[in-house]
Amino acid sequence: MISILIPTYDRDAVSLVSALEKQALKAGIQFELICIDDGSFSHHNERNQSINSMTNCKFIENKSNLGRNANRHLLAKQAQYKWLLFLDADTMPKTDDFIKNYLDVLNEDYDAFFGGFAYHDQPPGKDHLLRYTFGKHREEVPADERNKKPFKVIISANFLIKKEVFLSVNRAEMKNLYGLDYLFGALLKQNDFKVYHIDNEVFHQGIDNNSEYLEKTRKAVETLNYISRSKRLEQHEISLLRAKKLIERLGLTKTTTWLYKKFESRLEMNLRGNKPSMLCFDLYRLGYLCSLAYKGRLES
């Protein structure tokens, strides 16, 4: 009935797999669970081998690092069932009915279901506040809000999708870039696949520290710039790209780049502080995106 697929890298996945196994057995369904570590050769993998002793579960170690996207593609290729449930290894279902909630919507006329993200109410320490604040404000969104623009909040850490749909949209040969959820959502929209959001969240447990998340943010913006330049996004609901396009129409790309470079350190100071501002975060990302676009224009 469903294949539960967990891509991981240098992480203990046993607790997550155990919780999912318990729920799937309780539901009395046909299922398999495949967890693949992407060539981390981590000390966690010794413990992860215990996954092989769980019901219908297996743990595999890649001999080399394929990249997150290619690892997902490999998982999908190995899956035997029609429906694929993808979960990141640093998540945990919010409720004991997580599997059941997805099963309840299987017969509805959609190609993919997104369950959403949740964060604990108690904030982490100062060094992890940026990722937590972004998650609370931009990712922890109720399903009724997400369904107003179903391709806008696409979080690939928790979703159920038809196997043939995933393989037609996801491309193993895509560059090993961070932040490909932008492209995944846009391709679902361009190919007219039906997407529906439900309130079936997982807790995000692997919250990056501020420096790590700023670096990942820059990589995600670089990915967005690469995708934009490759002309692969004919239809999308990406606010950052729309703002960049407006700036280009107004002839303000050079000015925005200058402002970004002038205030970059001040923005980062706020984002590393006790009260990171999402407005500052948006300006930081938009400024960096415009600077990349301006640099590309000068080089072409």
pLDDT band at 226 (very low <50, low <70, confident <90, very high): confident
Express each pLDDT in 133-163 by its tens digit.
Answer: 999 999 999 999 999 999 999 999 999 999 9
pLDDT surpasses 70 at 174: no
Express each pLDDT in 15-43 by its tens digit.
Answer: 999 999 999 999 999 999 999 999 999 99
The domains of the chain, with CATH numbers, are: 2-116+153-206 (3.90.550.10), 212-299 (no CATH)
pLDDT surpasses 70 at 230: yes
pLDDT surpasses 70 at 251: yes
Share of the chain above pLDDT 70, in %: 97
Q: What is the distance between the alpha carbons of residues 148 and 125, in angstroms, rounded to a whole number?
A: 33
Q: What is the pLDDT of residue 29?
A: 96
Q: What is the pLDDT of residue 170?
A: 86
DSSP H helical segments within 104-162, as ranges?
129-134, 143-146
> Residues in the chain, how many?
300
User: Residues 71-81: what's their mean pLDDT?
Assistant: 96
Helix, strand, coil percentages (3-state) for the chain, rounded to 5, are 50, 15, 35
Nearest Cα neighbor of 9 from 220, 176, 214, 153 is 176
pLDDT surpasses 70 at 175: no
Q: What is the pLDDT of residue 300?
A: 66
Express each pLDDT in 181-224 by its tens digit.
Answer: 888 888 899 899 999 999 999 999 989 999 999 999 999 999 88
User: Can you say how many angstroms the Cα of residue 127 is from the centroid of all Cα atoms in its chain?
Assistant: 22
pLDDT surpasses 60 at 172: no
pTM of the model: 0.93
Q: What is the pLDDT of residue 120?
A: 94
